Amino acid sequence: MGYKIESVFIMVGIVSCLISVAHAAQGNAVFYDPPYTPSKCYGNRNDGVMVAGVSDALWNGGAACGRKYRVSCIRGANKAPKPCKQGSVVVTVVDYCRRVCNGDINLSKDAFSRIADPDAGKVVIQYDQV
């Protein structure tokens, strides 16, 4: 009896992990230098340094403003050696990255530096809304 209950808990845990991974998306990230104001969402309001702009794919007519994304580096998007750092960063969307944007998410340099080497310039990321 105890074995069956334990098996059920293990299966629920595995399914939960698979669902959370299934919601994560992949894309490219670049960065921009401070100052991080003014922003498209909030004008001259200072929202700190863990901020980002998003491309048309995530902008949704401005509905992205205030969304938080957990972002981690998967690999380099060019030939930079060792572009990724371990861990992730949570950023708040405060800006819109126009068509000239080279990534899905344009991270503040502070946020980008936590997950990748800025010398890489562009990295492949995994991100999900938190």
Instruction: Please write the tens of the pLDDT for every residue from 23-65.
Output: 799 999 999 999 999 999 999 999 999 999 999 999 999 999 9
93 pairs with which residues across the strands? 52
Around 125, how many Cα atoms within 13 Å sit in the side-chain half-sphere? Answer: 31
Phi then psi for 71, rounded to 5 degrees?
Answer: -125, 135
Instruction: Please write the tens of the pLDDT for every residue from 115-127.
Output: 999 999 999 999 9
CB 116 within 8 A of CB 83: yes
Q: Which of these, 24, 23, 20, 39, lies nearest to 106 by C-alpha position?
A: 39
pTM: 0.81
Q: Strands of 1-130 (E only): list them.
A: 25-32, 51-54, 68-76, 88-96, 105-108, 123-129
Per-residue DSSP letter, 102: S
